[in-house]
Chains A and B, each alone.
Chain A
Amino acid sequence: MSDLVEQLVHGLTLGSLYAMVATGLALMFGVVRLVNFAHGEFYMLGGYAFWYAYGELGLPYPVAGLAAAAAMGVFGLAYERTVIRTILARTWHVQLIATLATSITLTNLAILVFGTQPKEVPTTLSSTIVDVGGVRMAWQRPLVLVAAVVIFAGLEWFVTRAKLGKAMRAMSQNREACAVVGVDVQQVALATFGLSAALAGAAAALVSPLFNIFPDVGALLTLKAFAAVIVGGFGYVKGAIAAAFLIGVAESLAAGYISYAYKDAIAFVVMVAVLLVRPQGLFGRRIGI
């Protein structure tokens, strides 16, 4: 029984990671209708940024985490200004190939700069295993879940109360109308990328202590996050979050009870299964984030 609970805890941790990354992906697709193939690399770079801040500079954990998120936020803004802006008006083929190319470039640059050996950044919470009523885990795991929930709550407040957030939601529902009523669509697009990247950076700061950082980590992560976005109903953030947790728990259970080696295939299997049965996603086609 405690074994099952351990797997579930692990699954919720995974789910939190996938949900944070998928949220960024869903936001970008919802607001500017663009699929960012390089999104996993936001997480990867965020991980290295966190490693540098916490491991090399020795900053306290919360500060290092915020630094990583902020660094990625800036990177996201730069990415939008340089790569994304040139492909926003192009066909999805061009967008896909361009972001895929960016992904490959960033991954290999990371290999050149950081090497292929994974970086370990254990924190006190991640390296100490405690026993809570027969369940063995590191406190970092519940921390990830709690932090994720806080972030999602903050995001919900943002899109319902903050001016910029409301503009994002409005743009995801009707872009033309926004332009007409004077919303600065370029600025909103820029902010969306900054926010999405920062989310990935935060996810890296939370999860890297548990999973290590290496240059290739982005590829599988993009696929799984995308699977969550598709299953949740393209562009619908809450759907993506729900689907991400579903995938995370499924993967953890599969790893524990079926086969560890094939766990990465679970996300793909879930995605294809849902798409074949319900092409519009679990929650249907919704308009807006």
Chain B
Amino acid sequence: MRALRWTIGAAFLVAVPWIVAAAVPGQQRYVLHVLIFTALYGALALSYDLVVGHVGSLSLAHPAFFGIGAYTAALLATEARWPFAAALPAGIAMAGLVALTMGVPMFRLTEHSFAMGTLGFALVTQIVATNWVDFTRGPLCVTGIPKPQLGSLRIATLPAFYWMGLAAVGLVGLLYHGLTTFRLGRAFHAVRDNEILASAASIHPLKYRMIAFVIGGAVAGGVGVLYVSYVGVLCPGELAVSLSVNLLVMLFLGGVGSLRGVLVGATAFTALPEILRMAPTWRMVIYGLLLLIIVIRAPDGLEGVIRRRSALWRRPSSSGV
């Protein structure tokens, strides 16, 4: 029974902090830290996949939305003492609003120009974050971002942050599923696979591109808020373009356009280097090479490999039972 499997899986995931404490008592802080990052990256990757995988727009602007959400919440919390419950929607709304404003001119560009336009936007956002020192503190970073406080509930311990991350990726996953199936999913995929035919099917390509872009951007902003609430510090370097590369690796490694694939990719991407204890620069070299090889040889990623293998297993037997 599917419902049973889901419940057991969910229970397992919720129980992870205790499992980790029991299994690797000395390492539990570190393991939980990695898991929190995995969950946040997973949510971020899903929001990115909406744009790249389902509507087919190769946007490189995602770091900007992540950063806009992060900075909005960070500054509201530190300068204006906004509580988390208000800063989170503010960050989401700000990122979504910028996506809405930028999306309209961006989508007038085609193909390479669109990618370059979004890349330029991401670069300019980082430049502004670095140089508008009066507002963003620039390279000095925004520090002392308070831990989330929801009424009497204070998220301050690692397990608490883990559950926050788990809730985030769970909610984003549900949203992702709802948006990419049935009618709306078909519209997205129609625009992605054959825009001209989609128009003939009464589907407004720009409308659906914007829906994916704005929701993707807003969710990225939300993840940004959660991220700074956990880390407590925000520097302009977080908006670096390399985040787009990281996200692309996650998507292509795991499987573009697939919920399971993207989450697998995010997990592999975040957890593996920690397990292998790789230095950041070497990590990027490996990611670059990995992305290069994957996009050429197996653009479906692990998900595609799995699907092909299971299709082989599913071949009808000759006995016909």
Chain A in direct contact with chain B (Cβ < 8 angstroms)? yes
Closest Cβ–Cβ distance, residue B193 to chain A (whole Å): 12
Contact with B along A243-263 (1 / 0, CB 8 A): 000000000000000010110
Interface flag for B281 (CB, 8 Å): yes
Specify the main secondary structure of chain B where it touches its partner: helix
Interface flag for B115 (CB, 8 Å): yes
What size tier do the contact residues of chain A reach? 35 or more
CA distance A283 to B115 in the complex (A): 22
Closest Cβ–Cβ distance, residue B156 to chain A (whole Å): 35
Query: Which residues of B271-317 are within 8 A (CB) of A?
Result: 281-282, 284-285, 287-292, 295-296, 299
Is the CB–CB distance between B124 and A105 below 8 Å?
no
Contact of B117 among A83, A92, A103, A275 (CB under 8 A): A275
Interface flag for B112 (CB, 8 Å): yes
Contact of B127 among A86, A102, A264 (CB under 8 A): A264
Is the CB–CB distance between A108 and B131 below 8 Å?
no
Interface flag for A101 (CB, 8 Å): yes
Contact of B111 among A90, A92, A271, A276 (CB under 8 A): A92
Contacts of B252 in A (CB 8 A): 97
Listed residue (A103, A106, A108, A271) with the most chain B CB atoms within 10 angstroms of its CB: A108
Contact of B288 among A101, A219, A271, A275 (CB under 8 A): A101
For B115, the closest partner residue in chain A by CB is A96
Interface flag for A8 (CB, 8 Å): no
Contact with B along A99-113 (1 / 0, CB 8 A): 011111111110110
CA distance A102 to B58 in the complex (A): 17
Inter-chain contact count A-B, CB under 8 Å?
Answer: 109
Contacts of B116 in A (CB 8 A): 223, 226-227, 230, 271
Contact of B295 among A101, A103, A109, A276 (CB under 8 A): A101
Known: A265-B124, A275-B109. A98 touches B117 (CB 8 A): no
Is the CB–CB distance between A101 and B291 below 8 Å?
yes
Which of B11-19, B65-73, B83-91, B240-248 interfaces with chain A? B240-248
Contacts of B117 in A (CB 8 A): 271-272, 275
Query: Which residues of B103-161 are within 8 A (CB) of A?
Result: 105, 108-109, 111-113, 115-117, 119-121, 123-124, 127-128, 130-131
Specify the main secondary structure of chain A where it touches its partner: helix
Interface flag for A163 (CB, 8 Å): no
Is the CB–CB distance between A112 and B285 below 8 Å?
yes
Contacts of A259 in B (CB 8 A): 131
For B248, the closest partner residue in chain A by CB is A97
Contacts of B112 in A (CB 8 A): 35, 92, 96, 226
Closest Cβ–Cβ distance, residue A244 to chain B (whole Å): 15
Interface flag for A87 (CB, 8 Å): yes
- 24 A–B pairs (Cβ distance < 8 Å), ordered by A: A83-B292, A86-B296, A94-B296, A96-B58, A97-B248, A101-B287, A102-B288, A104-B242, A104-B287, A105-B285, A105-B289, A108-B285, A112-B285, A220-B123, A230-B113, A230-B116, A261-B127, A261-B130, A268-B121, A268-B123, A271-B117, A271-B120, A275-B109, A275-B113
Other A-B pairs, 17, CB within 8 Å; known A87-B296, A261-B131, A272-B120:
A35-B112, A94-B295, A98-B295, A101-B287, A101-B295, A102-B288, A102-B292, A108-B282, A108-B284, A108-B285, A109-B285, A112-B282, A220-B123, A230-B116, A268-B121, A272-B105, A275-B109
